[in-house]
A and B are shown apart, each in its own frame.
Chain A
Amino acid sequence: MPNSSPYEKMLQECLRGELRVVNAGLPRSQKRLSALLLEEYPHVICSDGSTHFFKRRELEYLASMMNSDEQEALLLPMLIELGANQAEAAMICQTDVEEKVISTILKMPLTPEKGRITIYKPQLALLRKKLKTTTQYVFFPQNP
């Protein structure tokens, strides 16, 4: 009779590996927009030790839509949470600035609920088109 443990081990390893891979791009710590604008090569260090570069053009685009206080408050990269529902995602809002940024890009008023703004796939595509390097996905495993 074959032993079941290698099989289970493989699945566990697969789950752990997938989680590690999908969340490898998460930053160890986020940086403020004002600080990134002063850096020559704006970047953050990811959880796997690699670097995530920001495009200066995007940073300048973000800076153009807010005042200096808001630039000080905005933490980058902004995190997009993918959870239970495949049709939608949630933008994690630590301050009001994220809400302003998303509302401006999507050209519609949005209200955060429990620190998150729910956006749908087409809106997510639009957001990612404009903010390729300044947003990052976060995957949350949930029970089926």
Chain B
Amino acid sequence: MPQQLIKVRPTKIELVKLKRRLKLAQRVQKIVKDRLSILTMEFLQTARDTVEAKRKLVDAFAEAYKALSIATGYHGYIALEKELIATEADPKVVAGSRNIAGVRIPSFELRGNGKPLRGYNLVDTSSWLDHAAQLAEECLEATIEIAELQRSLELLGMEIKRTKRITNALEYMIIPGLQATIKYLDMKFEERDREEKGRLKRVKVLVARG
């Protein structure tokens, strides 16, 4: 596709300005490309982590339900429910943010509630319940991890899309347009020089004839 020329006055000053503009555009392109490559790398890494975390989450929930079923079978539903009322706790999730190449990504971290024991009576319960409780905690951790990863994935994806549009505009529109205009002006000045030389020669001949 022929590049559209930028409408400028065919003067040397404009040519200098255009060359400066081209240099600037190439610098912008370099930064944007670097950023795009970093964002893509981070996106792929996050995608891989998300798949891994999802698998972990599914496994953790399957294990937790299995352990809870066994514990229920062992203690009986009513006894277990009575014990579990005492275990109610507010999990503390620290929410912050971090920055990846200009994209603000949420960051979650599960902190313990500061209690060394889970709350139920250790004398009346068995290790089956301990195991179920431990697995349930793992489920909670996995859920928080997946929440962070999925949001990161969305934000990175949106930023990649936006950056790609800028890169394409620079690569296929702005820079080729500037280059074509510079080439056109260069050719125009060369042509003008040749015309000038021809004119001078003619004048010289006319002067010589007297």
Residue A32 at the B interface, CB < 8 A? Answer: no
Bitwise, A121-144 to B at CB < 8 A (1) or not (0) is 100110011001100110101111
Bitwise, B75-102 to A at CB < 8 A (1) or not (0) is 0000000000000000000101111111
Segment from B32-40, B60-68, B117-125, B187-195 that makes contact with A: B32-40
Given contacts A22-B102, A128-B45, contact A139 B31 (CB under 8 A): yes
| Shortest Cβ gap from B22 to chain A (Å) | 9
Which among A1, A11, A22, A55 is the interface contact of B109 at CB below 8 angstroms?
A55
| Shortest Cβ gap from A120 to chain B (Å) | 12
| 152-210 of chain B: CB within 8 A of chain A | 166, 174
Range, interface on chain B:
35 or more
Given contacts A57-B109, A137-B101, contact A18 B35 (CB under 8 A): yes
Is B31 a contact partner of A22 (Cβ separation < 8 A)?
Answer: yes
State the CA gap A52–B98 with chains docked (Å). Answer: 5
Residues in A whose Cβ lies below 8 Å from that of B31: 15, 18-19, 22, 139, 141
Residues of A participating in the B interface, judged by any CB pair closer than 8 Å: 1-2, 4, 7-8, 11-12, 14-15, 18-19, 21-25, 41, 43, 46, 50-53, 55-57, 82, 86, 121, 124-125, 128-129, 132-133, 136-137, 139, 141-144
Residues of B participating in the A interface, judged by any CB pair closer than 8 Å: 6-9, 14, 17-18, 20-21, 23-35, 37-38, 41-42, 45, 49, 94, 96-102, 104, 107, 109, 111, 166, 174
